[in-house]
Chains A and B, each alone.
Chain A
């Protein structure tokens, strides 16, 4: 558990945040630029010396009104927006800079493992200025991991990367989340990254926390701005039932219903998350029989929310205790006479793993 209570007043910008964050999984600090998310992350790291307040992590006090555990004594890893590698050191020396500074018995991760995890074997003898943006950021992540941190802080690690490099980094971040039992606090203003990576979400605006909770709950909360966007989507938790159906699919289980995705390397019984865009859902009152769509879930209508597009509405439906969003036209809502607690069939056009 990470308990924090910070106040910063810099005249034109002020931050006031009081949070209790889980010390497992990925917590995303989400908000527009200037909302204070990076400042809050820097407070946690101990990089903001002017921050007033208190901070404790898993029962250990890092900061109070009178006490400040210096940054270099906090068991954290920090990945900055720009890789900021040490320009005079080769990749290997960059990677092991922190590793060499922690006591032997605290070295839970070894350089070989991290190098393999991040796929940077080829780069070890190079200088940072000989690397691409994506390679540099992978080295920076590896360098932070090799201090075997108890908490990993990431400040928009993909913001300064082009689309190709982003596509290169994202799978590594997912691997980190899934393979290392390491709590991560991830700052981002890109909702796609957040829906792919985060379990827990903190929404910041103008230096204040306006919402905080499980990703799923916040993404479907009608009082929050997420459902009002063009890219409104939800995340479902499912379990792998059959990794390979024999015809190129993987079967997932959602409650007692089946969900099919393109075959991926997962094992039976493994929990996975899938993302469904609101615009990829089609609602029907009778189970469609002759259709090319594979995925059809039985669901209950929770309620119907307005959509920014006046011709559309957002229908919140419930499947196996999880909420999905369906963007349908208002005319269809009328024609189908959709109302709360009604049984519907949700046809899903696209499901993405992650």
Chain B
């Protein structure tokens, strides 16, 4: 069982990818989930279906479309090239975009449920107590939806750790740049290097377990909030 420097870099890339895409998702999905929880628009179903799409699509399909879209001939890739930033296939940014799409439903759905519960009568009460809409959001909705945020973060983080098919498609196999742990393990197995595969796998198992333990501990420390 050995851990090479390349493996460590792959682990680091994985961690970075999970953290960055989770944070970005939380920021972007908060308004989206809020809108979904509050709107009576007829387009709500359409948006909900789009958000849930990554749950049913094979990761390779999404990866393929992303590769096309983000690559030098795709719309997004060309746009970035025109900006002088280069296209996004085979880059870390590309991976982040892919991971975000992949984990989208895992963030939106818990947040939407939390907002649906936290958004009722207490908001009317707060308005009669002179709280502006933004004030109400920060002082009531966010704290009351904290469990939703915790669930969303954990699901997105864990989901990104285990991502494989899509990352492979959009170029997550460049050692030192875009190679993540799950793909490094696959490479080790392909090369019959079971010892290295064991090492990396064990680290992923242990860190996932520690993550869940700390989440559950944290969850117990949260005040249990009953919203009638």
Interface residues, chain A, with chain B CB atoms under 8 Å away: 45, 47, 70-73, 76-78, 80, 82, 84, 86-88, 97-98, 101-102, 127, 129, 143-144, 147
Give the complex CA separation of A70 and B131 in angstroms. Answer: 11
Which of A76, A82, A144 lies in contact with B121, CB distance below 8 A? A82
B128 in contact (CB, < 8 A): yes
Which of A86, A98, A127 lies in contact with B130, CB distance below 8 A? A98
Which of A70, A87, A129, A143 lies in contact with B129, CB distance below 8 A? A143
Besides A87-B227, A101-B130, 14 more A-B contacts (Cβ < 8 Å) are A47-B124, A71-B124, A71-B128, A72-B132, A73-B130, A77-B128, A84-B121, A86-B126, A86-B140, A87-B144, A88-B144, A88-B223, A88-B225, A101-B129
A84 cross-chain contacts in B, Cβ below 8 A? 121-122, 124-125, 228
Which of B124, B128, B135 lies in contact with A76, CB distance below 8 A? B128
Secondary structure dominating the interface of B: helix
Give the complex CA separation of A47 and B132 in angstroms. Answer: 14
Residue of B with least CB distance to A106: B130
B2 in contact (CB, < 8 A): no
B125 cross-chain contacts in A, Cβ below 8 A? 78, 80, 84, 86
B122 cross-chain contacts in A, Cβ below 8 A? 84, 86-87
A143 cross-chain contacts in B, Cβ below 8 A? 129
Q: List 24 A-B contacts (CB under 8 A).
A: A70-B127, A71-B124, A72-B127, A72-B130, A72-B131, A78-B128, A80-B125, A82-B121, A84-B122, A86-B140, A87-B122, A87-B225, A88-B143, A88-B144, A88-B225, A97-B129, A97-B131, A98-B130, A101-B135, A102-B130, A144-B129, A147-B128, A147-B129, A147-B130
- Contact B121–A127 (Cβ < 8 Å): no
B214 cross-chain contacts in A, Cβ below 8 A? none
Give the complex CA separation of A143 and B122 in angstroms. Answer: 13
- Contact A82–B228 (Cβ < 8 Å): yes
Size range of the chain B interface in the assembly: 20 to 34
Give the complex CA separation of A144 and B125 in angstroms. Answer: 9
B127 cross-chain contacts in A, Cβ below 8 A? 47, 70-72
B226 in contact (CB, < 8 A): yes
A101 cross-chain contacts in B, Cβ below 8 A? 129-131, 135
Quote the shortest CB–CB distance from B220 to chain A (angstroms): 16
- The verdict on A144 contacting B144 (CB below 8 Å), with A86-B122, A87-B225, A127-B223 known, is no
B129 cross-chain contacts in A, Cβ below 8 A? 72, 97-98, 101, 143-144, 147
A88 cross-chain contacts in B, Cβ below 8 A? 143-144, 223, 225
Most buried by A among B127, B130, B140, B226: B130
Give the complex CA separation of A70 and B134 in angstroms. Answer: 13
A147 cross-chain contacts in B, Cβ below 8 A? 128-130
Quote the shortest CB–CB distance from A140 to chain B (angstroms): 8
Residues 137-148 of B, flagged 1 when their CB comes within 8 A of A and 0 if not, give 001100110000
- Contact B225–A144 (Cβ < 8 Å): no
The 8 closest A-B pairs by CB, nearest first: A98-B129, A78-B128, A101-B130, A71-B127, A87-B225, A72-B127, A84-B125, A84-B121
Give the complex CA separation of A129 and B223 in angstroms. Answer: 11
Give the complex CA separation of A76 and B128 in angstroms. Answer: 7
- Contact A45–B226 (Cβ < 8 Å): no
Give the complex CA separation of A101 and B131 in angstroms. Answer: 7
Give the complex CA separation of A47 and B228 in angstroms. Answer: 20
Quote the shortest CB–CB distance from A35 to chain B (angstroms): 21
Most buried by B among A72, A80, A97: A72
Give the complex CA separation of A101 and B144 in angstroms. Answer: 20
Give the complex CA separation of A129 and B131 in angstroms. Answer: 23
Give the complex CA separation of A97 and B227 in angstroms. Answer: 18
Quote the shortest CB–CB distance from A95 to chain B (angstroms): 10
Residues 215-228 of B, flagged 1 when their CB comes within 8 A of A and 0 if not, give 00000000101111
Give the complex CA separation of A174 and B91 in angstroms. Answer: 71
Give the complex CA separation of A147 and B36 in angstroms. Answer: 32
Quote the shortest CB–CB distance from B169 to chain A (angstroms): 43
Give the complex CA separation of A143 and B124 in angstroms. Answer: 14
- Contact A129–B130 (Cβ < 8 Å): no
